[in-house]
Amino acid sequence: MKFLFPFRGGGSKQRRGRHTPAREGASGHGNCYHPRQPPALTLAEDEKCQLSALVQIKLDETRTLTLVSTDEQFETAGEQLKVIAQLRERIKGTLKPLIEFWHQGHKAHTGMLATLDGPLEARERSMKQGLARYQKEKEEARRREEERLRREAEELRRRLEEEDRKRREMEAAATRRKLEEEALAEAAAREAEGDHETAELILEHAVQQTEIVPEPTPQVPVVVLAPVVAVTTPKVRGVGFRQVAK
């Protein structure tokens, strides 16, 4: 039986060599090397189409050889297995250099990313923590200042209320003294006239009046509000970090 693919490895070696990345010397960079010309990201379309056609043809040719029932089929299947093995070697030889090259590139650049970006990421995290600490300190200072102002406002309110209470007590005492003095003067005048009974009534009435002297009107209560202290932390656009809960 004549087969369509009587190739013997030469093509695979040639194709494998074509895709093997070349290395440069150390050139003062330790064990680093740089590919002179990286292979294409994938096979060219004509190569992919050629390999796909070969695979499909071989699948079509061997469709009936999965079940062997005669000596002829046995021999044919054996020969076809040789061709399939050659085709598989050709495919592997074509694709493995690409796979290996990009696999090594992935590993190298993943390590380079960790080497270059890792210190920056750590510094970024440390600086953001510093911003958060500073913001927290500013917020704590703001709260302490608000608390200080609140206490001052409360103390001022109590002092004003105490002053108003004393003022009203003094006004009430002055009113009682005036009533007593007026009553004494009037009673003395009646006594001088010999009207003892009226003098006693005036004094009794004066005592009653001093007991029911109305309380002076309180002043309008003074409402002292503690000022709100605003946070003065500067804003930096484009930089975000965990905010401090208020």
Q: What is the pLDDT of residues 103-144, one digit of tens each?
A: 999 999 999 999 999 999 999 999 999 999 998 999 999 899
Average pLDDT of the segment spanning 237-244:
64
pLDDT at 93: 93
pLDDT at 227: 67
Return d(Cα 245, Cα 243) in angstroms, integer. 6
List of long-range contacts for 81-90, beta carbons under 8 Å, 24+ apart: 83/3, 83/4, 83/5, 83/6, 83/58, 84/58, 86/5, 86/7, 86/8, 86/9, 87/5, 87/54, 87/55, 87/58, 89/9, 89/12, 90/7, 90/11, 90/12, 90/15, 90/51
pLDDT at 3: 41
pLDDT at 223: 62
- Of residues 217 and 103, the one with the higher pLDDT is 103
- Of residues 240 and 158, the one with the higher pLDDT is 158
pLDDT at 226: 64
Give 80: exposed, middle or buried? Use CB within 10 Å, 0-12, 13-18, 19+.
middle
Domain parsing of the chain, residue ranges: 10-122
- Of residues 92 and 236, the one with the higher pLDDT is 92
Return d(Cα 186, Cα 205) in angstroms, integer. 12
Return d(Cα 179, Cα 185) in angstroms, integer. 10
pLDDT at 30: 44
pLDDT at 6: 39
pLDDT at 39: 61
pLDDT at 85: 96
Q: Which residue has the tokens 């590139």?
A: 105
pLDDT at 108: 92
Return d(Cα 51, Cα 124) in angstroms, integer. 50
Share of the chain above pLDDT 90, in %: 35
Q: What is the rounded average pLDDT for all residues in the chain?
A: 79
Q: Give tens-digit pLDDT for 45-59.
A: 899 999 999 999 999
Residue 222 confidence (pLDDT) above 70: no
pLDDT at 224: 60
State the virtual CA torsion across 140, 142, 145, 150 in degrees, nearest 10: -100
Question: Do the beta carbons of residue 149 and residue 226 sit within 8 Å?
Answer: yes
